Structure 1
């Protein structure tokens, strides 16, 4: 980290306080609009009782997993390739906390864990950690897709394509954030997620990594949440789009729910998944309202040289000094290209 230790501790306290406040308020922040310029009232999903200290609550879950002697989560089982190296955890970053919740969830749901502690306990631990992660994600991103409610025109044309190419190939992951970006990258290319993304790709034609990037932004990679908006997978969605999916098998049919989300956003059936079109679709998935404020959207570019600060903190409410703590999906895509997990043609190679 580039900040001083005291600054880091201050940031940690502020972030954890924000998470606690969001939990205590029932996470009643706005949902996202179904189309640009439209708004709809939201309804908060159920969450566990507020944690007075979210970090302590996380550590308690980690200790429980250790006390139960749960086997480690799969890390070297990446589809097709290498052993994954995960940077050591810290205590004061959204990505770190989210990744540690995912670790608990993955440990609790391995075949070895289910054999050791039984299906009921495995499911219970997964559900509690998933609910805590959902609350953490909503605390960091209470205005999910709020940029859609801001009217702004940005057509897909040659100028847009040139901009996306220029930004992507000049993107540099912020050095002091690279370990955090790597931790999210390690999640997208490892079991149990990558096989599910590839299954969705086979059924929809949407590239597996696009499915994974949306999953990171909307759900922090939780397989207990709907891809539509991060609502609990145990019931139909409560916030916009409401009552989705129409047909699926709760509480664990993540693939069918993901297909419904991609169908709802008209991703299914598209044939052009070039870099430029992909980034355009991802930006519109969240909304292009950041452009009206003269910055590159953090949804794409957070944790890179193309983003410093500015984000929506509520539906249609822009804070020029707020800083996104999520990894931008274009930034993670750049990591995947550097990792050789995704192959994209460079303009200078054509």
Structure 2
């Protein structure tokens, strides 16, 4: 082996070690956390059964006493909690909603990729025109991975069931309802009890970045008022260009451009997770990339693809 090859191999090894040096708690729940999440979900499901909260066709229903799989824990937990919350909402059971919402915040904090949008240190955005065509090409060729079709099916059912709430924010901000919906999914796991900014609970002002929002009004905040504040803060209000390409550019920019770096260079899971355009690799903490970690959140572009195929969104 010549000297150049040796140096190249050392460089590759160094990169692998650097990118994988991360606390496991940020990548997945600890054994104790997963056990606690399991117990809480089963307890909330048992309470819903005792209250005879009816099931809803097309949404996840009670799966009592079934433990979460360590490999798919977030997808399973989010499905069960969101199903519980929607059913409790329509059955007027606010205590069940609150319990499930608190637990959904906990699991979202573990799984969600941190957004760079409000950070001064965020990576510089590439020029829109330099990557515009790639968005259209990727979207046209996007195929939902077979193992995720059922999950995406109930995601889109949930989105459509709550479309009126997204429409109300859209009317006030002139931002397309579907953009608001997918941001809600990625940042809050579709939890209407949390701030759109970052998934913090509506019972107080935001405590994570951006902290102290909304600045006006008093908690608890309505989801609509907080969502409008977040979109104003993002400077998306009254923008005129909402083509497919511009929409995907803004979505990727909200989460950050780190996946486009020369060392990583993969399609961002924030857009393409659950599709043929993504397999593995994820930022689990600001500046910490783990090549072996697989996102358990459905990408925003993939959600938009599903809504486009169903005829609910057109471009």
Alignment TM-score, normalising by the size of structure 1: 0.75
Structure 1 residue runs of 4+, over 6 Å off?
87-90
Residue 109 in 1 paired to residue 89 in 2? yes
Q: Does 1:258 align with 2:227?
A: yes
Give the number of aligned pairs: 280
Long gaps (5+) in structure 1? 1-13, 25-49, 76-84, 115-121, 345-350
Which structure 2 residues correspond to residues 1-350 of structure 1 after superposition, within 5 A?
18-20=28-30, 52-73=35-56, 85-86=58-59, 91-92=68-69, 93=72, 94-110=74-90, 113-114=91-92, 122-141=93-112, 143-146=113-116, 149-157=121-129, 159-190=130-161, 193-248=162-217, 250-292=219-261, 293-344=264-315
Structure 1 residues 319 and 51, CA, compared in 2 at 3 Å: closer, same or farther?
closer
Closer, same or farther: CA 323–51 of 1 in aligned 2, 3 Å: closer
1:143-171 Cα offsets, whole Å, 9 max, x none, are 411586453441111x3110100000110
Using the TM superposition, give the Cα deviation of residue 95 of structure 1 relative to its aligned residue in structure 2, in angstroms. 2.2
**In angstroms, what is the RMSD of aligned CA positions?**
2.3
Quickly say closer, same or farther: Cα 1:260–1:181, change in 2 above 3 A: same
CA contact (8 A) 1:96 1:180 kept: no
Kept in 2, the 8 Å contact 1:248–1:257? The answer is no
* Structure 1 residue 269: Cα displacement: 1.3
Judged with a 3 Å threshold, the aligned counterparts in structure 2 of structure 1 residues 254 and 150 are, in CA distance, closer, same or farther, namely closer
Structure 1 CA distance for aligned equivalents of residues 50 and 29 of structure 2: 26
Q: Whole-Å Cα distance in 1 between the matches of residues 41 and 60 of structure 2?
A: 18
In the alignment, the residues of structure 2 paired with residue 105 and residue 175 of structure 1 have an alpha-carbon distance, to the nearest angstrom, of: 26
TM-score, scaled relative to structure 2:
0.82
